[in-house]
Structure 1
Amino acid sequence: MGSGRFEGGFGSDAPDPVRDYSLAEQVAQRLSQQILRGEYPPGTRLPEPELAIRFGVSRGPIREALFLLEREGMIENRPRRGAIVPQADPSEIANLYNLRAVLCGYACRLAAPAMNSDRMAKCRQGLEQLRAMADDPSKTSLDFLEVRTAIAGVIMHASGNPVLVNELERLNRRALMHFAMFNRLKRRRESIEDWERLLDALGRQDGEEAEKIAISQVHAARDEMLRQVKEAQSQG
């Protein structure tokens, strides 16, 4: 399951408070999207002076933005090299996805009794969008991810546990980069099948079955991600 950052796209019932983002937060958001789009491939250095020129701000907000991204696991700070986009690490991916599997499963178990017709309709709408872009190479990984994230956001907020939602969102932001770098069309189709099974269980309000499917779903994504990382490393 993805995070709930895009759930507003389906008119989610989750609260959407209006807030003013600091300049550093705005820079961090833009830079993270550029990293996800592959504009800064793994191993790329992120010098503060160059970023300040690119974003048209002073180095103070850049430094704070890099700190925010480092805290989220999007970049690393290395001695004598500064900020850098990290290479995919199989051990980190495995640990990250294993924890996500447990929390996603728990979220689905909690959400199942609250998955009313309105919430299910939003999720089904998202599933139809996923089907439409499954075999469309013009749709990027981020396009697919945005819709998938919206579906997951509806489910997560139905869990009624804001602490769990926040923790999942934090973990999922760290997983975004791996998904964007290694997602393939074949995995999109498999992902849709997983979502169909999960939504069927949630529609029946079967929390136990939904939990099992969600855990299996994340484990499958983990295994495919690790396979692609190892394949890329062997070719590099």
Structure 2
Amino acid sequence: MKPLSMLRKSVSLADAIVETLKADIQAGTILPGTHLHQEDLAKRFAVSRVPVRDALFKLSSEGLVSIEANRGAVVTKLTTDQITEIYDLRLILECDALDRAIKAIKNEDLPAIRRALRLCRLEADGGDWRAADNEFHRTIYRLSGRLKQVEIIESLRASVQAYWAQYSTLATNEPHWLEQHDALYRCIEQRDARRAVKLLRTHLIEASIKLTS
């Protein structure tokens, strides 16, 4: 864990704690269902309980932590139905964002997408492939111009990150994962929105099945 003093100076103490805990939750270091005791966190970060409490409330507003009566803060544990619902919402929002992005894209936007695609290849063999995957999709969706929609998409993606932590490497799925990203980029390059949306839909449905099976 990075010392809080090394985190961005522009963020508040509570935001720095949020950033660290969010990374731990999404990486699977802190598992769903884990109790987050204010006293323990205050000791860990060498702060009072005030910024810890503020951080937990912020994580709660993002859906990563649940504040329960007589139990305190608990890392959110999603049911199969909830995961399915999240992916249903992602299908609607991400496919729409992709369609809009392709219709708005310019040639000068393509290098950034290619860089994100190269990062996926570099990280696919066991690195931080979840972050690379997020960056690839984020780079594309932002071109839609629908920044609030992209913000909601990122929140939905973050809510299931902890459940992907069990897949620390892509293992036998690596070629298929990379092929899907390569195919999606080719569709974007050719401005084939219809096929791109079809590929993304398949990608998300497969991911949903993998997490809920």
Bucket of the pairwise TM-score, normalised by the shorter protein: 0.7 to 0.9
Ranked by relative contact order (alpha carbons within 8 Å, sequence separation 6 or more), the top structure is 1
Pairing 1:177–2:162 present: yes
Q: Whole-Å Cα distance in 1 between the matches of residues 94 and 54 of structure 2?
A: 30
Pairing 1:36–2:26 present: yes
What's the counterpart of residue 131 of structure 2? 146
Q: Tell me if structure 2 keeps the 8 A contact 1:122–1:151.
A: no
TM-score (norm 1): 0.79
Considering only aligned residues, what root-mean-square deviation do their CA atoms show, in Å?
Answer: 2.1
Q: Tell me if structure 1 keeps the 8 A contact 2:184–2:199.
A: yes
What's the counterpart of residue 68 of structure 2? 78
- The percent of aligned pairs where both chains have the same amino acid is 28
Which residue identity is paired with 2:201?
I
Deviation at 1:59, TM superposition (A): 0.7
Q: Whole-Å Cα distance in 1 between the matches of residues 22 and 211 of structure 2?
A: 20
Q: Whole-Å Cα distance in 1 between the matches of residues 12 and 113 of structure 2?
A: 32
What's the counterpart of residue 59 of structure 2? 69
Q: Tell me if structure 1 keeps the 8 A contact 2:116–2:132.
A: yes
Deviation at 1:129, TM superposition (A): 2.9
Runs of 4+ in 1 over 6 A off after TM superposition: none
The number of equivalent residue pairs is 205
Pairing 1:207–2:197 present: no
Are residues 24 and 101 of structure 1, via their aligned partners in 2, closer, same or farther at CA, if it must alter by over 3 Å? same
Q: Whole-Å Cα distance in 2 between the matches of residues 25 and 69 of structure 1?
A: 10
Pairing 1:110–2:100 present: yes
Q: Tell me if structure 2 keeps the 8 A contact 1:74–1:177.
A: no
189, 198, 201: which one aligns with 2:184: 198
TM-score (norm 2): 0.87
Q: Secondary structure at the match of 2:54?
A: helix
Q: Tell me if structure 2 keeps the 8 A contact 1:100–1:168.
A: yes
Q: Tell me if structure 1 keeps the 8 A contact 2:116–2:139.
A: no
Are residues 97 and 20 of structure 1, via their aligned partners in 2, closer, same or farther at CA, if it must alter by over 3 Å? same
Q: Secondary structure at the match of 1:83?
A: strand
- Give unpaired runs (5+ residues) of structure 1: 1-17, 228-236
